[in-house]
């Protein structure tokens, strides 16, 4: 699997994406030719530049069109009329739909009535379509991203001066890990946020890769504090243990019953928790209590917090980020005398029968669970010998 990892330490915008992907090896001639098929009367340029000594590629679109407002159906017709592979068109349409939904929510209007101002202009359309086309030219199977630097301060828009992040940007990156560092400027634009929101499958540390290429896309401004570039790393996924960013939510509880805590655990798993543990602890005033710990993906934190406050007696929570290492896992199936059982296994040789399969068989056949597990383990060992 070929992965493209976007390192958004200085934010992300549409032109930075295209510049970084071309810098990483996307065929510029092929990309330029395909962009002309949009028939927007634009010309395109890629030039080498530097930001704080880092060599980068700057993508720009030249056009004579005056500012105009477009609705989503108009933009969709432009994209579908272009000469691009289906995957490019579908990805570009998905990005614009994400953007339209965010704008609709931010301005409290129906999606079909959203006016695309800045992002409806020729350059923004070309940025988004160009980014999707460049991914296709590079043969990218999966997009991942780091935490996203949003910037700070204010930005001038068609709606006047707005705080950074702009409302649409904040909506697009809801439940994703973001932060603010560097100069007072808009580092992440709605276009860049929509691209990641629509196409990135995960946000966090660099996944295990055999790096084949890297590229740098230059931002418009040249800051004194840091290189204003977007870096991409491209490579094949490897089988080493994967580092992922997780959120840990904790609460000390000394005034709840086992029934309440057991039910809360069930609700947390239903709401997307990766793991939930209940640990006996001794609290103040010599009260026995329970440490409730939830392991979660960053994007599921808010729903899990809501469950904790609704289903437990706690009045406060602790939350922090942690790194999780996960071995690559595969699923195999084995035949037992009782039925088919799935086996989860890793390249190191570790394996375990799927509990739910074994439980279902044991319940249906009226036999001990440990008997089913033992036969499934034996069958898997024989299949590997």
Q: What is the pLDDT of residues 141-162, one digit of tens each?
A: 999 999 999 999 988 877 678 8
Q: For the domain made up of 330-384, give the CATH fold.
A: Ubiquitin-like (UB roll) (3.10.20)
pLDDT at 243: 58
In this prediction, residue 280 has a pLDDT band, given cuts at 50, 70 and 90, of very high
Q: Report the distance separating Cα 82 and Cα 80, nearest Å.
A: 5
- List, in order, residues 6 or more apart from 7 with CB less than 8 Å away: 145, 146, 206, 230, 231, 232, 233
In this prediction, residue 120 has a pLDDT band, given cuts at 50, 70 and 90, of low
State percent of the chain over pLDDT 90. 70
pLDDT at 101: 87
User: Which whole-number Å values give the CA distances from 138 to 26, 131, 132, 204, 372, in the listed order?
Assistant: 6, 11, 10, 22, 47
Query: Which of 110, 119, 44, 136 lies closest to 74, judged by CA?
Result: 119
pLDDT at 46: 97
Q: Once rounded to an integer, what is the mean pLDDT over residues 48-56?
A: 95
Gyration radius (Cα) of the chain, Å: 25
pLDDT at 134: 98
In the numeric block, which tokens belong to residue 96? 């614009």
Residue 324 has pLDDT above 60, yes or no: yes
Largest Cα separation within the chain, whole Å, is 77
> What residues does each domain of the chain span?
2-238, 243-326, 330-384
Residue 318 has pLDDT above 70, yes or no: yes
To which H or E segment does residue 283 belong?
Answer: strand 275-283
pLDDT at 71: 79
Specify the pairing of strand 148-149 against strand 178-179. Answer: parallel
pLDDT at 175: 83
Other beta carbons within 10 angstroms of residue 333's beta carbon come to 14
Q: Once rounded to an integer, what is the mean pLDDT over residues 309-322?
A: 94
Other beta carbons within 10 angstroms of residue 118's beta carbon come to 15
For domain 243-326, give the CATH superfamily: Transcriptional regulatory protein pf0864 domain like (3.30.70.1380)
Least confident of 31-35, 69-73, 111-115, 293-297: 111-115
The helix, strand and coil proportions of the chain, stated in percent and rounded to the nearest 5, come to 40, 35, 30
Q: Report the distance separating Cα 14 and Cα 17, nearest Å.
A: 5
């Amino acid at each position: 699997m070929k992965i493209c990892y976007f390192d958004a330490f200085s934010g992300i915008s549409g032109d930075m994406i295209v510049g970084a992907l071309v810098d990483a090896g996307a065929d510029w001639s092929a990309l330029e030719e395909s962009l002309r098929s949009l028939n927007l009367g634009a010309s395109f340029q890629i030039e080498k530049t530097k930001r704080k000594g880092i060599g980068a590629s700057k993508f720009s679109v030249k056009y004579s069109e005056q500012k105009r407002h477009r609705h989503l159906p108009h933009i969709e017709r432009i994209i579908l009329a272009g000469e691009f592979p289906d995957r490019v068109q579908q990805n570009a349409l998905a990005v614009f739909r994400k953007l339209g939904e965010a704008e609709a929510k931010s301005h409290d209007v129906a999606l079909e009535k959203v006016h695309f101002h800045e992002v409806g202009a020729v350059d923004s359309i070309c940025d988004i379509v160009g980014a999707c086309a460049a991914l296709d030219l590079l043969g990218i199977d999966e997009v991942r991203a780091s935490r996203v630097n949003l910037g700070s301060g204010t930005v001038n828009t068609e709606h006047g001066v707005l705080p950074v992040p702009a409302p649409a940007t904040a909506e697009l990156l809801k439940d994703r890990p973001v932060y603010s560092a560097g100069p007072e400027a808009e580092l992440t634009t709605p276009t860049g946020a929509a691209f990641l929101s629509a196409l990135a499958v995960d946000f966090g540390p660099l996944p295990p890769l055999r790096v084949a290429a890297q590229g740098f896309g230059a931002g418009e401004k040249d800051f004194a504090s840091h290189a204003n570039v977007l870096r991409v790393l491209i490579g094949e996924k490897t089988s080493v243990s994967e580092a992922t960013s997780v959120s840990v939510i904790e609460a000390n509880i000394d005034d709840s019953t086992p029934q309440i805590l057991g039910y809360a655990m069930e609700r947390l798993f239903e709401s997307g928790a990766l793991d939930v543990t209940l640990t006996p602890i001794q609290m103040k005033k010599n009260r026995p209590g329970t440490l409730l710990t939830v392991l979660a993906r960053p994007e599921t934190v808010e729903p899990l917090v809501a469950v904790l406050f609704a289903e437990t007696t706690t009045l406060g929570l602790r939350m922090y980020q942690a790194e999780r290492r996960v071995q690559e896992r595969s699923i195999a199936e084995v035949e037992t005398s009782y039925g088919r059982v799935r086996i989860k296994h890793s390249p190191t040789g570790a394996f375990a029968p799927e509990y739910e399969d074994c439980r279902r068989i044991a319940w249906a056949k009226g036999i001990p669970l440990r008997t089913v597990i033992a036969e499934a383990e034996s069958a898997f060992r024989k299949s590997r010998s």
